[in-house]
Amino acid sequence: MSKQKRFGFDIDGTVTDPGSFLPYLNKHFNKKLTIDDITEYDLTNVLEVSNKEFWDWMKEHEENIYADAIIAPYFPNVLSKWQKVHELF
């Protein structure tokens, strides 16, 4: 008998398309970044801004970014399969 697994999901870049942030980042920070430019988790380096500046910006814009985010193309299929056999939250 196999044990049911429990999964929690990180939204950004897992459930949502990783490129969802780019239009917001490019507009606010006056950049022309592509997904290929994002090579590390800490975006302050590629944006050339301080931690404080980045997180102040995130606090102000995070709700809209996630509300408009595109679901990653693979995720609905994976979710459909997993919800039948695992506990998801």
Mean pLDDT of the 14-36 span: 91
Question: Residue 1 domain-assigned?
Answer: no
Rounded distance between C-alpha atoms, residue 27 and residue 41, angstroms: 20
For 3-7, what is the mean pLDDT?
77
Is residue 45 situated within a structural domain? yes
In a domain, 14, yes or no: yes
Residue 36 falls inside a structural domain: yes
Q: How many domains does the chain have?
A: 1
Whether residue 62 is contained in a domain is answered as yes
Q: Which pLDDT score is estimated for 74?
A: 84
Tell me if 29 is assigned to some domain.
Answer: yes
87: β partners: 6
Task: Output the six-digit token pair for 72.
Answer: 């990653």
pLDDT of residue 7: 75
Q: Is residue 82 part of a domain?
A: yes
Q: What is the pLDDT of residue 2?
A: 65
Question: 27-61, pLDDT tens digit by residue?
Answer: 999 999 999 999 998 999 999 999 999 999 999 99
Is residue 73 in a domain?
Answer: yes
Mean pLDDT, rounded, for 72-86: 84
Residues 6+ apart with CB under 8 A from 88: 6, 7, 8, 9, 79, 82
- The residue segments making up the domain with residue 14 are 6-88
pTM over 0.75: no
Q: Which residues, in sequence order, are CB contacts of 33 under 8 Å at separation 6+?
A: 22, 25, 26, 46
